[in-house]
């Protein structure tokens, strides 16, 4: 594959340079007739399976092709500028290239050809990358558009876009190859199905998965995945009751005796309530909580104490109207927020002792630097930190630990792992933290425990 990439890059560069400069070079018309179809072929060649046999996805093939085209554009553009600017202004007479005034028609045709050829390469590459690359996100797409006509800045932006595209091809293809290599093992084929329970202010939508790319990875490795489907904003008691009914329904429909729960944020408290008060205990084999505020958030206590009751009611009404449109039959914004305070969680923990006969474990993480979090976590990290210390943007690290085993997730450097990163909410590949593989290993460990 590397040899093919090098060959493609060299041929593409040579073709672009010769076609763009043939007016100024002694090039045979017959050579051009051979060169033009080769150049056009090179615009699509990397998409075909034979060009990159180890790339398993057509989307990734297109991303790789776009990246190689953009690299060709950068190199040929730099060479063309270095070769032509001195000649056009007559700055380097030793090149024996006529200045603009000596042959204006020749230079006009020459420049037009270069512009046409470079545009073919650039737009072919950038359109492919913009359409097929997930990791660019809206941020770099917008930056690329905004600085597209700004000298130097556009080259820097293009370099960043190429780097992101190349990295995505490498990471995603390695993920495909890894799953292919262990497909026969079905390492996530647990005895009991997986029930994934969302946190507050989100729902289990059909077309936008709260858990990002995680469920797909679990299913590819043998897991049966179900969702909590509880309301997005309700008290822990109400959500616990809804989850208990959901758990029993899954067991009835599938014929399984129990489920393995993986719950994020408030979903962990909801799941504990379902087990402690609403009879779900006999139907639960394990409970794994992800960044759950088991001891609440002191920041939430502070906010509720400082915001007047009338303002609380107005904000709640606004959110509840939106939540009803999203599918909640009876949302209760204030009840949901109040149950996340440290004072409320202290009372809830008295009602929800650690269950017997159920394997319980917890995970937590923190942002190393506020700017690493997506909005609004990049803003809330400072505020939460003032009250709760190191945190993931919403919940203090001291609140995560619960159950028989506790795992703290971290990465080196400024990035860190936010409240949304641990469930792949933004579908972002983070250096040093593979969230999809984390969940695959969590479920694989449950399987090894016979659950």
- With tokens 């933004």, the residue in question is 426
Q: How confident is the model at residue 152 (pLDDT cuts 50, 70, 90)?
A: confident
For residue 107, the model assigns a pLDDT of 58
Structure tokens at 219: 């299913």
Domains assigned to the chain? 2-179 (no CATH), 186-448 (3.40.50.1820)
- For the beta sheet containing 284-290, the strands, ordered from the edge strand earlier in sequence to the opposite edge, are 225-227, 194-197, 259-264, 284-290, 359-365, 405-409
Q: CB 314: neighbour CB atoms within 10 A?
A: 11
Q: Looking at residue 287, what DSSP letter applies?
A: E
338 or 380, which is more confident:
338
Mean pLDDT within 31-55: 60
Does 50 have pLDDT greater than 50?
no
* Calpha distance 408→333 (Å, rounded): 30
Q: Which residue has the higher pLDDT, 55 or 197?
A: 197
For the segment 252-280, what is each residue's pLDDT rounded down to a tens digit? Answer: 999 999 999 999 999 999 999 999 999 99
Give pLDDT, residue 27. Answer: 57
Q: What is the DSSP string of 402-427?
A: -SSEEEEE--SSS----TTGGGTTT-
Q: What percent of the chain has pLDDT over 70?
A: 81
Q: What is the rounded CA–CA span in Å between residue 448 and residue 228? A: 24
Report pLDDT digits (tens) over 77-109.
777 776 666 555 543 344 444 444 445 555 566
pLDDT in tens, 196-230: 999 998 888 877 899 999 999 999 999 999 999 99
- Within its chain, how far is the Cα of 209 from the centroid? 12
């Amino acid at each position: 594959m590397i040899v093919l990439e090098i060959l493609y890059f060299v041929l593409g560069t040579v073709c672009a340079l010769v076609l763009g400069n043939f007016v100024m070079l002694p090039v045979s018309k017959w050579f051009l007739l051979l060169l033009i179809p080769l150049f056009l072929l090179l615009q699509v060649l990397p998409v075909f399976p034979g060009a990159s046999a180890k790339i398993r996805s057509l989307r990734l093939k297109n991303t790789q092709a776009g990246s190689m085209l953009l690299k060709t554009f950068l190199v040929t553009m730099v060479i063309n500028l270095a070769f032509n600017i001195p000649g056009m202004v007559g700055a380097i007479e030793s090149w024996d290239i006529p200045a603009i005034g000596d042959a204006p028609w020749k230079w006009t045709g020459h420049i037009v050809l270069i512009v046409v050829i470079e545009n073919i390469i650039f737009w072919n590459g950038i359109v492919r990358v913009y359409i097929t690359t997930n990791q660019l996100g809206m941020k770099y797409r917008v930056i690329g558009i905004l600085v597209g006509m700004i000298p130097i800045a556009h080259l820097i932006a293009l370099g960043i876009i190429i780097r992101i595209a190349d990295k995505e091809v490498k990471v995603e293809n390695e993920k495909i190859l890894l799953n292919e290599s262990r497909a026969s093992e079905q390492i996530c084929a647990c005895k009991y199905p997986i029930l994934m329970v969302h946190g507050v202010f989100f729902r289990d939508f059909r077309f936008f998965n709260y858990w990002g790319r995680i469920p797909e990875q679990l299913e590819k490795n043998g897991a049966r995945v179900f969702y909590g489907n509880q309301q997005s904003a309700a008290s822990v008691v109400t959500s616990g009751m809804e989850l208990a009914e959901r758990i029993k329904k899954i067991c009835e429909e599938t014929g399984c005796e129990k489920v393995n729960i993986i719950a994020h944020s408030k979903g962990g408290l909801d799941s504990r309530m379902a087990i402690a008060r609403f009879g779900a205990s006999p139907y639960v084999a394990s409970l794994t909580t992800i960044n759950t505020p088991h001891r609440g958030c002191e920041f939430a206590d502070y906010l509720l104490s400082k915001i007047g009751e009338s303002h609380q009611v107005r904000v709640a009404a606004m959110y509840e109207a939106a939540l009803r449109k999203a599918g909640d039959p009876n949302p209760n914004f204030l009840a949901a927020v109040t149950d996340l305070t440290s004072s409320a969680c202290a009372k809830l923990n008295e009602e929800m002792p650690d269950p017997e006969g159920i394997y319980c474990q917890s995970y937590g993480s923190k942002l190393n630097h506020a700017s690493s979090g997506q909005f609004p976590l990049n803003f809330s990290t400072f505020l939460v930190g003032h009250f709760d210390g190191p945190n993931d943007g919403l919940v203090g690290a001291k609140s995560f630990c619960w159950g028989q085993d506790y795992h703290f997730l971290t990465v080196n450097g400024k990035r860190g792992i936010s409240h949304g990163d641990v469930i792949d909410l933004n579908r972002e590949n983070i250096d040093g933290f593979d969230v999809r593989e984390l969940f695959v290993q969590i479920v694989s460990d449950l399987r090894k425990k016979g659950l």
